[in-house]
Amino acid sequence: MVVHNLPNSIDFPVTGGAYDFTKATTSLTNELITSSKKVTLLRHGLSTWNAESWIQGSSDLSVLTEVGVEQPEISKKALENIHFDQCLASPIPRAKQTTEITWQGREKPLVYIDSLKEISLSS
């Protein structure tokens, strides 16, 4: 699915979607992006809490299951022939582990960003 005009609100799933962000700026440098960019989103592998249908938020208590460790290997193979400028990831352990497996063998370093963490559900 390619969407050429970004709607004011999104009331439909956008899995696999692509948006044209021409003349957007990067939040880290505030410089204009001069060419189209693709953003690939990858969710962490199956976690212990996912397997139990629990909502985990940013909790570190939910870790990857055996299947969750195998899933990034599949993603790695699927993405191995695609060039990426950069890899940004959440520092939450299950996301880190997923990203480290998927990104293994690439030249560019991983960049962990706190704002990519899931929301905190603790009181």
Told to judge if 118 belongs to the known catalytic residues of this protein, a careful annotator would answer yes
46 labelled binding-site residue: yes
Arithmetic mean of pLDDT, 10-15: 43
Residue 13 in domain: yes
In angstroms, the CA 97 to CA 113 distance is 14
DSSP string, 25-51: B-TTT-PBP-S-------PPPPBHHHH
123/71: higher pLDDT: 71
Q: How many helices (H) and strands (E) does the chain have?
A: 3, 4
Both tokens assigned to 64: 């990857």
Which position among 44, 52, 66, 73 bears the catalytic label? 44
Residue 15 in domain: yes
User: Residue 14 sits in which domain range?
Assistant: 2-116
Number of domains in the chain: 1
Amino acid 57: pLDDT: 65
Amino acid 47: pLDDT: 83
Nearest Cα residue to 75 out of 108, 102, 93, 51: 102
Question: pTM for this structure?
Answer: 0.65
Both tokens assigned to 45: 């592998």
57 labelled binding-site residue: no
81 labelled binding-site residue: no
In angstroms, the CA 98 to CA 89 distance is 9
Amino acid 38: pLDDT: 81
Told to judge if 107 belongs to the known catalytic residues of this protein, a careful annotator would answer no
Residue 9 in domain: yes
Which tens digit of pLDDT belongs to each residue from 13-57?
444 444 455 555 556 556 676 777 788 888 888 887 777 776 676
Arithmetic mean of pLDDT, 109-123: 78
Amino acid 13: pLDDT: 42
Residue 18 in domain: yes
Residue 123 in domain: no
Residue 36 in domain: yes
Give the domain CATH number at 22.
Answer: 3.40.50.1240
Which position among 31, 52, 83, 118 bears the catalytic label? 118
Residue 122 in domain: no
Indicate whether 7 pLDDT > 80.
no
Which tens digit of pLDDT belongs to each residue from 69-91?
889 899 999 999 999 888 989 89
